[in-house]
């Protein structure tokens, strides 16, 4: 039977989110209805909030909950199962059927759209590909951020870049995603692990997650500082300059300046011996970028992107749940702010102000 839900809705015209009571339909054959415990409040949602739109929008893309209804063709979960809702298809290789982004008919007859899912709601409906079974005894609050922040940051290190023991890493942006990248670099035993940010408090916080060195880019040139920390004695690059720079530089912000800095922070190559370092774009870019093509070519550097950390939720959610359980990834420390659904505009304002040190969640 249809389910009543309280949902945060972003109006088509510029304005704050409002809490709307709407009716979720019975799930179609490949859909699942979830009563939610907790949802992450992701910084990337600000892009949707500030960009023009052609309809109302429902937001949020990472949560934990319990299945309360499922479609006739759904077989991987049943009513009563604990689950995570995510924006990344859980096993697309094994199940290539097309997925449909969730929509919501509002009381005034208009339809709000989503980017795959919406989780700023006490109940939600989603295609089965975005619903992942988790153990019933799994923690249900802070683990909600696994479905975006963790897979995006940690996955970029594990899968997109493939960081190995002893390789050097710099992470630009010590927010929630950046901290997850730093934690994953620590798990992989990277060395050094350099955190770059504009805020001393966030940089000190990054050390709790594994940063071995920090750079405040508001006080010094970040690229020069990274190069000074990573000089390789006795090694010259292709242009016969002293070797310096990191094996992997991650931009977890997506600003023009940081996208350009990560390429310059990546080490050069050595002709006939080894290729250069890799710059990895993790944050959502909102602008064009100017890259030095000659630097990429001569020094055999790579500039690559990652979407969702190249993760596969069915495979990777159990890994990250285990990291939290074993203490490798302290999600209790990562989640620094908690809000109710009725406080969603306060949460958004805090995101915009940059006052959330780690990650914020909604609790239902």
Residue-wise pLDDT for 223-279, tens only, equals: 999 999 999 888 888 888 888 999 999 999 999 999 999 999 999 988 888 899 999
Q: Is-contact 113 107, C-beta < 8 A?
A: no
Q: What is the pLDDT of residue 100?
A: 87
- Alpha helices, DSSP H, located in the chain: 45-50, 149-155, 176-187, 200-207, 222-229, 256-265, 293-298, 313-326, 331-334, 344-353
Q: What is the pLDDT of residue 359?
A: 95
3: helix, coil or strand? strand
Bond before 192 cis per omega within 30 degrees = yes
- Crossing angle of helices 222-229/256-265, nearest 10°? 20
Q: What is the pLDDT of residue 351?
A: 92
Name the stretches of the chain with pLDDT < 50: none
- Of 152, 18, 40, which is closest to residue 85 (Cα–Cα)? 40
In this structure, what token pair is assigned to residue 125? Answer: 């409906």
Q: What is the pLDDT of residue 11?
A: 96
Q: What is the pLDDT of residue 111?
A: 97
Full set of structural domains in the chain with CATH? 3-140+330-363 (3.90.180.10), 150-308 (3.40.50.720)
Q: What is the pLDDT of residue 170?
A: 98
Q: What is the pLDDT of residue 166?
A: 97
CA atoms in the 13 A half-sphere facing the CB of 38? 20
**Beta strands 111-113 and 103-105, pairing class:** antiparallel
């Amino acid at each position: 039977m249809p389910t009543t839900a309280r949902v945060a809705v972003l109006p088509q015209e510029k304005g704050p989110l409002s809490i709307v009571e709407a009716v979720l339909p019975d799930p179609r054959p490949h859909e699942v209805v979830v009563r939610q415990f907790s949802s992450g409040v992701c910084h990337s949602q600000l892009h949707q909030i500030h960009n023009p739109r052609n309809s109302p929008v429902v937001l949020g893309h990472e949560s934990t909950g319990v299945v309360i209804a499922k479609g006739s063709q759904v077989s991987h979960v049943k009513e009563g199962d604990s689950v995570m809702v995510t924006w990344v298809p859980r096993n697309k290789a094994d199940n290539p059927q097309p997925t449909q982004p969730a929509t919501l008919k509002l009381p005034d007859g208009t339809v709000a759209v989503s980017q795959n899912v919406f989780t700023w709601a006490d109940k939600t409906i989603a295609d089965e590909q975005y619903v992942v079974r988790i153990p019933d005894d799994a923690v249900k609050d802070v683990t909600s951020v696994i479905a975006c922040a963790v897979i995006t940051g940690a996955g970029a290190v594990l899968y997109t870049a493939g960081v190995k023991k002893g390789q050097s890493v710099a992470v630009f942006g010590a927010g929630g995603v950046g901290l997850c990248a730093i934690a994953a670099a620590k798990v992989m035993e990277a060395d050094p692990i350099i955190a770059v940010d504009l805020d001393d408090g966030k940089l000190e916080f990054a050390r709790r997650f594994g940063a071995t060195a920090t750079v405040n880019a508001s006080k010094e040139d970040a690229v020069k500082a990274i190069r000074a920390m990573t000089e390789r004695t006795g090694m010259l690059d292709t242009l016969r300059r002293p070797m310096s720079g990191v094996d992997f530089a991650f931009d977890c912000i997506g600003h023009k300046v940081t996208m350009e800095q990560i390429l310059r922070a990546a080490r050069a190559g050595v002709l006939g011996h080894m290729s250069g370092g890799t710059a990895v774009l993790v944050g959502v870019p909102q602008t064009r970028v100017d890259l030095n093509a000659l630097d990429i070519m001569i020094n055999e550097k790579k500039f690559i992107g990652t979407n969702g950390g190249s993760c596969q939720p069915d495979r990777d959610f159990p890994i990250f749940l285990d990291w939290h359980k074993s203490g490798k990834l302290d999600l209790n420390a990562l989640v620094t702010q908690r809000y109710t659904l009725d406080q969603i505009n306060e949460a958004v304002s805090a995101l915009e102000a940059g006052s959330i040190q780690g990650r914020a969640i909604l609790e239902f």
